[in-house]
Amino acid sequence: MAIITLLTDSGESDFYVAAIKAKILSTNPGISLVDITHQIQPCDLAHAAFVLRSVFRDFPKGTVHLVGVHSTANRDDAMIALQLEDHFFVGPDNGLLGLISEKPHQNLVELNTLNPVQSTFPEKDIYAPIAARLASGVSITSLGKPLGSFRKMIDRQMKATRKQIMGHVIRVDRYGNLITNITVEAFDILSKGKTFTIQFGGEKFRRIHSQYHQADEGECFLLFNSLGLLEIGIYKGNASELLGLDYDSLINITFEE
């Protein structure tokens, strides 16, 4: 079954999401539509990129992902369709799609170049019919003008030496948990045969949990989550508020023989 996912900053209180879905289904009523989320804050590319790169690989290969975040604000943003890791992405070239994978793209085309449609609602008028055609089996190369590259932005990078890992909080989730860019792979390699200290906001910890409930209620836990990223939280509490940490806060791990 053809699948299109939707990721937007449109919210749920207006007609926008329903109009996008209606356009897709009017093109092909057999398409299965899946909402990733429409609760991205307006124009928050960092959050949208985090959500999309965290989940798109869980869908079957060939899934089409319609991305409508910060779709109309940048005058020079091209409209693109992208094939990457055997998935398809349709949306503006505003840098978001350049943050979801480090692998090279397979195909890339610029949309809406021949007899361009002028629209204040490109998610409905341009991206939705293109996504429907892709999901219906139309070749991506027939949908637009070939492009060599798309916009890449530099994301926060973890820094690691033999004695230290420095990372940052890249997302505060709805529970107040702090998700960092420190990977379990880097930690496992550098921590072999060593003791470690994890420091943030004046706090120091020397233990990694494997489950949230290993901490008592109100206590801090540190674990590597399902994404393989270090996560810091307060069991049944809000770590961001109680620890005074937020997006981009520094997390430091030191290793000793």
Amino acid identity, position 123:
E
Q: Is the pLDDT of residue 132 over 90?
A: yes
- The whole-angstrom separation of Cα 76 and Cα 197 is 46
Query: For 74-100, what is the mean pLDDT?
Result: 94
pLDDT score recorded for residue 73: 67
Give pLDDT tens digits for 225-257. 999 999 999 999 999 999 999 999 999 999 997
176, 168, 174: which is closest to 229 by C-alpha? 168
DSSP string, the chain: --EEEEEES--SSSSHHHHHHHHHHHH-TT-EEEEEES-PPTT-HHHHHHHHHHHGGGSPTT-EEEEESS-SS-TTPPEEEEEETTEEEEEE-SSSGGGS-SSPPSEEEE-S-SSPPP-S-HIIIIIHHHHHHHHTT--GGGSSEE-S-----PPP--EE-SSEEEEEEEEE-TT--EEEEEEHHHHHHHHTT-EEEEEETTEEE---BSSGGGSPTT-EEEEE-TTSEEEEEETTB-HHHHHT--TT-EEEEEEE-
Confidence of residue 202 (pLDDT cuts 50, 70, 90): confident
Query: Who has greater pLDDT, 257 or 94?
Result: 94
Q: Is the pLDDT of residue 1 over 80?
A: no
Q: Is the pLDDT of residue 41 over 80?
A: yes
pLDDT score recorded for residue 10: 96
How would you class 239 by CB atoms within 10 Å of its CB: exposed for 0-12, middle for 13-18, buried for 19 or more?
A: buried
Could you tell me the domains of the chain?
3-146 (3.40.50.10790), 159-256 (2.40.30.90)
β-pairing verdict for 32-37 and 3-8: parallel
Q: Give this prediction's pTM.
A: 0.91
Give pLDDT tens digits for 53-70. 999 999 999 999 999 999
- Six-digit token string for 256: 């000793």
Share of the chain above pLDDT 70, in %: 99
Query: For 143-159, what is the mean pLDDT?
Result: 91
* Pair 47, 106: CB distance under 8 Å: no
Give pLDDT tens digits for 212-224. 989 999 999 999 9
Confidence of residue 199 (pLDDT cuts 50, 70, 90): very high
Q: Is the pLDDT of residue 74 over 80?
A: no
- Six-digit token string for 21: 């879905």
| Mean per-residue pLDDT over the chain, rounded | 95
Q: Which of 61-65, 102-106, 146-150, 155-159 has the lowest mean pLDDT?
A: 155-159
